[in-house]
């Protein structure tokens, strides 16, 4: 069975500092991987995805993530945090077997200090 683990339910960074949100997955086959952001009282918005090809993927708002098969990881990074990045971030996987069932992690709330 697939699972997604996000290390750290809360992460706090200073404005301008590096953002690193960790995600590890367990899957019997290499999955498709996603990061979503959720602002208060809103639905989720896709930040970036990995399906095939280049393992370093770039998304919206300056975020990027790298798929590392050997580490079963898909950590999200941004070189310089902005106040507007404060939100809840979810890592998610879809098993690459033809279905569309998406498994989400528990989420990491990012706080950005001025």
Shortest approach of other proteins to residue 43 CB, angstroms?
A: 3
| Rounded Cα–Cα distance for residues 106 and 28 (Å) | 20
| Rounded Cα–Cα distance for residues 48 and 33 (Å) | 9
| Rounded Cα–Cα distance for residues 44 and 37 (Å) | 6
Binding site for other proteins (CB under 8 A): 4, 32, 34, 36, 41-46, 49, 51, 90, 92, 94, 99-107
| Rounded Cα–Cα distance for residues 39 and 25 (Å) | 24
- Between 85 and 88, name the residue whose CB sits nearer to other proteins: 88
- Between 15 and 30, name the residue whose CB sits nearer to other proteins: 30
Shortest approach of other proteins to residue 81 CB, angstroms?
A: 22
- Between 17 and 107, name the residue whose CB sits nearer to other proteins: 107
Shortest approach of other proteins to residue 107 CB, angstroms?
A: 5
| Rounded Cα–Cα distance for residues 80 and 104 (Å) | 25
Q: Which residues pair with 68 in a beta bridge?
A: 73
Shortest approach of other proteins to residue 65 CB, angstroms?
A: 15
């Amino acid at each position: 069975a697939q699972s997604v683990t996000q290390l750290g339910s809360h992460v706090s960074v200073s404005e301008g500092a590096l953002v690193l949100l960790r995600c590890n997955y367990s899957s019997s086959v290499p999955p498709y991987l996603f990061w979503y952001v959720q602002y208060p009282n809103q639905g989720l918005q896709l930040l970036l995805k990995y399906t095939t090809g280049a393992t370093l993927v770039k998304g919206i708002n300056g975020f990027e993530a790298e798929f590392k098969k050997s580490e079963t990881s898909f950590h999200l990074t941004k070189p310089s945090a902005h106040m507007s990045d404060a939100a809840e971030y979810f890592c998610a996987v879809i098993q690459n077997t033809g279905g569309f069932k998406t498994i989400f992690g528990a989420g990491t709330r990012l706080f950005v200090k001025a």
